[in-house]
Each structure stands twice: as structure tokens, then as C-alpha cells.
Amino acid sequence: MKYILKIKDIDIPLSIKNYKTSKSLKIYFKEDILTITKSPYIPKVEVDKLIKLNEQKIYEEYKRILEEKKYTKGIWETDKNVFYSGEEYIINVSYHSEDIVRVKIEKETKKFCIYLPKQIQKEDEQEYIKKAVRMLFKNNTEAVLYEMLPYWSKKTNISYNSVKVRDAKTKYGSCIPTKKALNFSSRLVMLPKQAIDAVIVHELCHIVHPNHSKQFYKLVESHIPNYKEIDKYLKNNRNIITI
């Protein structure tokens, strides 16, 4: 069943789904739709109570989702902004005679230069740009991890067996503790160095504590003393890596 939930100044799409196997109420966003799953035996009055209890949280999360959509729209255009190493760069799209898309980062002028083949079709430009930029981010993130992951592994005295870099937009990293396997977003290179360090240490510590217990955070903070501050930054700036 689909509804429109009005909170303050915004209308939020709401979907309520009944499952016989559901034992409790669950509430989460699926893309930009607030989704609630429940047992068919749970009355709607309980759903209303859950929404009321989480109203402010729902409002803030939906505003964040709307902001991310606004931020990513038409991002690969001249004079738009993109983050790299935690700093804003101005995108500059131009054309050259080569038969390849090139991306050049000018740190001094803070320009993110994209060079497209002159013969490229206008409707194909965005796909070509995205492919080239994703490759750049992946290669540069792998280079950073090649240097920093062994450093933090030695410093924390936590070993790992494998590491993969993927084009993830919703998670900075993940860990499979039983396999000592680490996964990182190829977009980490968009973040400031201290934020990348925090993500690396976070995932390494999951090998020791496969949860978010007090012991886990105590271990993380023993290596990254200002982790709470960095974690707040990461949560508030997730739109950086969603392009």
C-alpha cells in the first residue's frame, strides 16, 4: 500500500508492505521511498506510532536524500563541483583530437579537467565521462590503499587476507571478519586523508570485533582518537561519493 506522508514542509512517499513471515515492524528508506514492513496482524495504529516516534529522523534522512539528488544532477558539466582529496574542484569539460577520454587533476588551480574526443556524440558524453572518472578513482584509491593499508595493519597489529576495491556509492567500506576480507569503495580518494585512514581502521577493527560494540569503538578510537568527529563528517557528507 502506498501513501504520502507529510512531515513539516515536505511530502514523503510511503510504502507499507505486509509479510506473513514478519515478526516486527521495520522502517527504512529504499532509495527515496520510506518503506515499512510488518506482519498483516499488526494494526496501522502501531505503524502511526512508529512513524511519530521517528518523525524527526525520517524528516532529516529524506532531506539528505533530496540534497544528494540535487547534488548529483548533471554533475559532469563545466563549472560544476566535485570532491577530490576532501577538497572541491571545479569541473572543466573540453574537447581534443585524441580518440580517448582523459581526466587530469590540477591541484594548484583546483580544476578537474575532462578532455573528450571531438567526434563523440553529445548523448554519449556522460557515459564516457563516468567510465573514465570511475577508472581514475579506482586506480587512485588502490594506490592510496596500497600505501596506507599495510601501514595501519602493522600499527593496529591486525592482519587481513584480501582486499577489494569496488565502485560502491552507499558504503565507504565493509568487512567479512571470518575471512579477514576487506572491501572499500573506489571513491575513497574523494575524501580527506584522515577520513580515509578512519575508514581503513574501522574495517580492520571489524576483524577483531565483528559488530559495533563499545569494545569495537574503543579499539578504533585507540588508533584514531578523533574518530567520533570524523565519523560524524562521513555520515554528514555521504553525498560526496554518490556521483
pLDDT digits (tens, 9 = 90+) for 52-84: 999 999 999 888 787 766 554 567 889 888 999
26 lies in the same domain as 98: no
Structurally, how many domains does the chain consist of?
Answer: 3
234 lies in the same domain as 142: yes
DSSP state of 169: S
Residue 66's pLDDT is what?
Answer: 79
21 lies in the same domain as 106: no
Range of the domain at 110: 81-133
Tell me how far apart the alpha carbons of residues 139 and 91 are, in angstroms, rounded to a whole number.
Answer: 20
163 lies in the same domain as 235: yes
142 lies in the same domain as 237: yes
Residue 84's pLDDT is what?
Answer: 94
Question: Which ranges of the chain have pLDDT less than 50?
Answer: 72
Q: Is 224 helix (H, G, I), strand (E, B) or coil?
A: coil
51 lies in the same domain as 95: no
Question: Cβ of 27: how many Cβ atoms within 10 Å?
Answer: 18
60 lies in the same domain as 128: no
The strand pair at 26-30 and 33-38 is best described as antiparallel
143 lies in the same domain as 109: no
Go through the chain and tell me how many residues it has.
243
